[in-house]
Amino acid sequence: MAEVKLLGAWASPFSTRVEMALKLKGVEYEFIEEDLTNKSPLLLKYNPVHKKIPVLAHNGKPIAESLVILEYIDETWEGPTLFPKDPYERAQARFWAKFLDEKCLPAMWKACWSTGEEQEKAKEEAIELLGFLDNEIKGKKFFGGDNIGLVDIVGNFVGYWFGIVAELAGLEIVTQDKFPNFCKWIDEYNSCSFVKENLPPKDKLTALFKARFEASNASK
């Protein structure tokens, strides 16, 4: 039987998206929780370039970078597909996944953790980016259509983590009046039983990030 190991961290949206893909496909795997303050020799061996989780090891062969891992999972195992079949739709899914990682995530993270002018600029950028997402999801249940697909899973951060961290930061950015379609997707996605079962518990994430905010404020 194939040996599948996932080096990850429970609170990481990147790690969670890989776990969701494996579960969606019904792949059995061993989860190895990494201490990111003291990275294991195995992580450094498997991902010497970025030294980051998640890393998927399939029969001892490592694959790093969550978007690359998701594509590998989709191509390797049978079951519900993450990527659309049609080449144009596939390209669109890749586009939005890249947009979420390269544009939304940095701006939203910065909006939560910065202050003053830097924060104002990041908030403005986040609002502009959310407008694109709101438009893209309009009239659809999920980004993938009727079923959860790549973009929904990659959207974990904006749909779940960002809400928790933004609340702790005292920000109100994703509002019903500004982004009604995106808010509808958040409700739809987060209330799916499969999603609920696989996202880290809200109270645990809240406690973790609250402690990080307190530590960051204390060091200012």
Ligand X SMILES: N[C@@H](CCC(=O)N[C@@H](CS)C(=O)NCC(=O)O)C(=O)O
**Contact positions vs ligand X (CB under 6 A):** 9, 12, 14, 36, 51-54, 65-67
Cβ 200 to ligand X, closest distance in Å?
A: 12
CA 4-37-9 angle, to 5 degrees, is 35
Between residues 54 and 144, which has the closer beta carbon with respect to ligand X? 54
What token pair was written down for 8?
Answer: 């990850």
Cα 173 to Cα 157: distance, rounded to the nearest angstrom: 14
Between residues 54 and 200, which has the closer beta carbon with respect to ligand X? 54
Task: HSE, CB side, 13 Å, CA atoms: give it for residue 215.
Answer: 6
Between residues 20 and 53, which has the closer beta carbon with respect to ligand X? 53
Cβ 180 to ligand X, closest distance in Å?
A: 29
Cβ 50 to ligand X, closest distance in Å?
A: 7
Cα end-to-end span (Å), the chain: 52
Name the nearest CA neighbour of 184 among 142, 148, 125: 142
Which residue in the shown chain puts its C-beta closest to ligand X? 52
Instruction: Encode 37-50: b = buried (16+ Cβ within 10 Å), e = exposed.
Output: eeeeeebeebbeee
Between residues 12 and 156, which has the closer beta carbon with respect to ligand X? 12
| Kind of pairing between the strands at 4-8 and 30-33 | parallel
Cα 17 to Cα 90: distance, rounded to the nearest angstrom: 18
